[in-house]
Structure 1
Amino acid sequence: MSKLTNYFREALYELHKVTWPTKKQTINYSIVVIAIAIAMAAFFALLDYVFTWLLSIVV
Protein backbone atom coordinates (compact mmCIF):
# COMPACT_ATOMS: atom_id res chain seq x y z
CA MET A 1 0.00 0.00 0.00
CA SER A 2 2.90 2.36 0.66
CA LYS A 3 3.99 2.11 -2.99
CA LEU A 4 0.58 3.33 -4.13
CA THR A 5 0.58 6.17 -1.61
CA ASN A 6 4.10 7.11 -2.62
CA TYR A 7 3.10 7.09 -6.30
CA PHE A 8 0.23 9.53 -5.73
CA ARG A 9 2.36 11.74 -3.49
CA GLU A 10 5.04 11.99 -6.21
CA ALA A 11 2.40 12.60 -8.88
CA LEU A 12 0.94 15.46 -6.84
CA TYR A 13 4.44 16.88 -6.31
CA GLU A 14 5.06 16.83 -10.08
CA LEU A 15 1.71 18.51 -10.76
CA HIS A 16 2.76 21.41 -8.55
CA LYS A 17 5.79 21.94 -10.80
CA VAL A 18 3.68 22.26 -13.97
CA THR A 19 3.38 25.70 -15.55
CA TRP A 20 -0.32 25.90 -16.34
CA PRO A 21 -1.55 28.19 -19.13
CA THR A 22 -3.42 31.34 -18.22
CA LYS A 23 -7.11 31.74 -18.93
CA LYS A 24 -6.32 34.00 -21.91
CA GLN A 25 -3.86 31.47 -23.37
CA THR A 26 -6.39 28.66 -22.96
CA ILE A 27 -9.07 30.69 -24.76
CA ASN A 28 -6.67 31.60 -27.57
CA TYR A 29 -5.51 28.00 -28.01
CA SER A 30 -9.13 26.81 -28.03
CA ILE A 31 -10.03 29.33 -30.73
CA VAL A 32 -7.10 28.15 -32.85
CA VAL A 33 -8.11 24.50 -32.47
CA ILE A 34 -11.75 25.23 -33.35
CA ALA A 35 -10.73 27.33 -36.38
CA ILE A 36 -8.44 24.60 -37.69
CA ALA A 37 -11.14 21.97 -37.14
CA ILE A 38 -13.65 24.07 -39.10
CA ALA A 39 -11.13 24.67 -41.89
CA MET A 40 -10.34 20.95 -42.13
CA ALA A 41 -14.05 20.07 -42.17
CA ALA A 42 -14.65 22.57 -44.98
CA PHE A 43 -11.67 21.21 -46.91
CA PHE A 44 -12.85 17.61 -46.65
CA ALA A 45 -16.43 18.61 -47.50
CA LEU A 46 -15.14 20.33 -50.64
CA LEU A 47 -13.00 17.32 -51.48
CA ASP A 48 -16.01 15.04 -51.02
CA TYR A 49 -18.10 17.27 -53.28
CA VAL A 50 -15.42 17.27 -56.00
CA PHE A 51 -14.98 13.49 -55.90
CA THR A 52 -18.75 12.96 -55.95
CA TRP A 53 -19.05 15.28 -58.94
CA LEU A 54 -16.19 13.52 -60.76
CA LEU A 55 -17.69 10.11 -60.03
CA SER A 56 -21.07 11.23 -61.37
CA ILE A 57 -19.38 12.26 -64.63
CA VAL A 58 -17.62 8.90 -64.98
CA VAL A 59 -20.62 6.75 -64.10
Structure 2
Amino acid sequence: MANIGGFFKNVMSEMRKVSWPKRKELTKYTVVVLSTVIVMAIFFAIVDLGISGLFRWYLEL
Protein backbone atom coordinates (compact mmCIF):
# COMPACT_ATOMS: atom_id res chain seq x y z
CA MET A 1 0.00 0.00 0.00
CA ALA A 2 2.95 2.32 0.62
CA ASN A 3 3.99 1.94 -3.02
CA ILE A 4 0.60 3.12 -4.24
CA GLY A 5 0.68 6.19 -2.00
CA GLY A 6 4.22 6.99 -3.15
CA PHE A 7 3.17 6.58 -6.76
CA PHE A 8 0.33 9.09 -6.46
CA LYS A 9 2.56 11.47 -4.51
CA ASN A 10 5.08 11.36 -7.39
CA VAL A 11 2.29 11.82 -9.93
CA MET A 12 1.07 14.96 -8.16
CA SER A 13 4.63 16.26 -7.97
CA GLU A 14 5.14 15.78 -11.71
CA MET A 15 1.74 17.28 -12.59
CA ARG A 16 2.72 20.50 -10.81
CA LYS A 17 5.71 20.77 -13.18
CA VAL A 18 3.58 20.55 -16.31
CA SER A 19 3.27 23.70 -18.39
CA TRP A 20 -0.45 23.88 -19.12
CA PRO A 21 -1.64 25.84 -22.19
CA LYS A 22 -3.38 29.16 -21.67
CA ARG A 23 -7.01 29.62 -22.74
CA LYS A 24 -6.04 31.43 -25.97
CA GLU A 25 -3.56 28.69 -26.94
CA LEU A 26 -6.06 25.97 -26.13
CA THR A 27 -8.72 27.65 -28.28
CA LYS A 28 -6.27 27.99 -31.17
CA TYR A 29 -5.23 24.33 -30.92
CA THR A 30 -8.87 23.22 -30.76
CA VAL A 31 -9.72 25.19 -33.92
CA VAL A 32 -6.73 23.68 -35.72
CA VAL A 33 -7.72 20.14 -34.75
CA LEU A 34 -11.39 20.57 -35.64
CA SER A 35 -10.63 22.20 -39.00
CA THR A 36 -8.13 19.45 -39.83
CA VAL A 37 -10.68 16.76 -38.99
CA ILE A 38 -13.35 18.47 -41.13
CA VAL A 39 -11.00 18.88 -44.11
CA MET A 40 -9.85 15.26 -43.88
CA ALA A 41 -13.45 14.01 -43.59
CA ILE A 42 -14.44 15.95 -46.71
CA PHE A 43 -11.36 14.69 -48.56
CA PHE A 44 -12.04 11.05 -47.73
CA ALA A 45 -15.74 11.42 -48.56
CA ILE A 46 -14.82 12.74 -52.01
CA VAL A 47 -12.28 9.94 -52.54
CA ASP A 48 -14.88 7.38 -51.41
CA LEU A 49 -17.48 8.77 -53.81
CA GLY A 50 -14.93 8.69 -56.63
CA ILE A 51 -13.92 5.10 -55.99
CA SER A 52 -17.56 4.03 -55.62
CA GLY A 53 -18.39 5.74 -58.91
CA LEU A 54 -15.51 3.97 -60.64
CA PHE A 55 -16.67 0.58 -59.33
CA ARG A 56 -20.26 1.24 -60.42
CA TRP A 57 -19.06 2.32 -63.86
CA TYR A 58 -16.81 -0.77 -64.15
CA LEU A 59 -19.59 -3.16 -63.11
CA GLU A 60 -21.99 -1.68 -65.70
CA LEU A 61 -19.64 -2.56 -68.58
TM-score tier by shorter-chain length is over 0.9
- After TM superposition, the score normalised by the length of structure 1 is 0.95
- After TM superposition, the score normalised by the length of structure 2 is 0.92
Alpha-carbon deviation of 1:28? 0.5
The alignment partner of 2:26 has SS state of helix
Alpha-carbon deviation of 1:53? 1.0
For the residues of structure 2 that align with 1:7 and 1:52, how far apart are their CA atoms? 53
For the residues of structure 2 that align with 1:50 and 1:13, how far apart are their CA atoms? 53
For the residues of structure 2 that align with 1:5 and 1:57, how far apart are their CA atoms? 65
Residue in 2 that maps onto 1:8 = 8
The alignment partner of 1:19 has SS state of coil
Over 3 Å off, 4+ runs: none
Structure 2 unaligned segments of length 5 or more: list them.
none
Letter in 1 for 2:50: V
The count of corresponding residues between Structure 1 and Structure 2 is: 59
